[in-house]
A and B are shown apart, each in its own frame.
Chain A
């Protein structure tokens, strides 16, 4: 090992220890900053081995910076952890809703079968065949439920990974702020967004939407 390499190693170690003592922790971005400083301070008038070390340190520093940027861009664009949790909850609602609907359909099919029994002849058989096809079709709910559960687990996995990366890189509150300040006309306490696309929210989670009765009251008051 050359003197330069030994010196670089000692400098790196010293800087990392100093940073940890100062901040109480050593985040990956801190390591990136140390590498950047070292790369900037190295003299280009070195032998080939030292130039190689210099080059590798600069590459490592850039890699850490780029990775940090990518992680933060996920956060600022999607508020990723919230978005993933929201998506999982919506998928849970899908499973519940399809289960309820399937039960309703099967109850109705039961009622039809009961009403049809005693009709006799071809008519009764036709009705029985049709209701049997309804029961068969309702098995979709089981399959879709299983597929959706798989996706929910995958989302939970991704969420855990992003959370770990957040911890690794630390958070930058100023980059996580997500107000668009595009509020336009007010109607009482309700602010209408300027962009109509912000009105496209889709179904609300259970307990969070506005009921038909409340909508009727709101409409009658306008």
Chain B
């Protein structure tokens, strides 16, 4: 009976481990927000390499917020410096919205001063990537926010 219990524990343990690795649904909807078409393309490409194909784009904060209200995302990856609405303003709107407030939100930006990081954190950012960045950094920060994959 003890042996059976150990086997059962092992099975449950393995199931939990597998569950953690498989916890992230790669069909999740991701919204990439940046006013530069090239950057949106690069991020989309990187996400595809990581296995995420369900990716939508927006060219600024206001377009992104409209899209999120129509179709919530499992993750938002946003630039900061955009017009007419910045990434920080978008973040604040998302965090203030009843249905969207828990959306994981990663800021990917050239704004690298400590004041920017603090302001973003105070606004509720999930993680912060400074440009230029590489595929490994994007993956690491995504995993810290949505789980291992």
- B45 adjacent to chain A (CB < 8 Å): no
Q: Is the CB of B115 within 8 A of A200?
A: no
Chain B residues near A201 (CB, 8 Å)? 111, 113, 116
Chain A residues near B113 (CB, 8 Å)? 199, 201, 204, 209-210
- B117 adjacent to chain A (CB < 8 Å): yes
Question: A212-B129, A219-B127 are known contacts. Are A202 and B111 too (CB-CB below 8 A)?
Answer: yes
- Interface residue count on the A side (C-beta < 8 Å): 20
List A residues 197-214 near B (Cβ within 8 Å): 199-204, 209-212
Q: Is the CB of B112 within 8 A of A218?
A: no
User: When chains A and B are docked, how far (Å) is the Cα of A211 from the Cα of B80?
Assistant: 17
Classify the secondary structure of B's interface with A: mixed
User: When chains A and B are docked, how far (Å) is the Cα of A130 from the Cα of B39?
Assistant: 22
Q: Is the CB of B88 within 8 A of A202?
A: no
Q: Is the CB of B117 within 8 A of A210?
A: yes
Q: Is the CB of A200 within 8 A of B81?
A: yes
Chain A residues near B130 (CB, 8 Å)? 209-212, 215
Q: Is the CB of A199 within 8 A of B133?
A: no
Q: Is the CB of B127 within 8 A of A199?
A: no
Q: Is the CB of A196 within 8 A of B110?
A: no
Chain B residues near A211 (CB, 8 Å)? 130
List B residues 68-110 near A (Cβ within 8 Å): 80-81, 86, 88-89, 110
- A222 adjacent to chain B (CB < 8 Å): yes
User: When chains A and B are docked, how far (Å) is the Cα of A210 from the Cα of B131?
Assistant: 10
- Interface residue count on the B side (C-beta < 8 Å): 23
Chain A residues near B127 (CB, 8 Å)? 219
Q: Is the CB of A193 within 8 A of B114?
A: no
Chain A residues near B12 (CB, 8 Å)? none
Task: Looking at the assembled complex, report how far the CB atom of A96 sits from the nearest CB atom of chain B, in whole angstroms.
Answer: 13
- B137 adjacent to chain A (CB < 8 Å): yes
Q: Is the CB of A196 within 8 A of B117?
A: no
- Find the B residue at minimum CB distance from A101: B132
A-B CB contact pairs (8 Å), 27 listed:
A190-B114, A190-B115, A190-B118, A191-B115, A192-B118, A192-B119, A193-B115, A196-B86, A196-B89, A199-B111, A199-B115, A200-B81, A200-B86, A200-B111, A202-B81, A204-B110, A209-B112, A209-B130, A210-B112, A210-B113, A210-B114, A211-B130, A215-B128, A218-B114, A218-B118, A219-B121, A222-B121
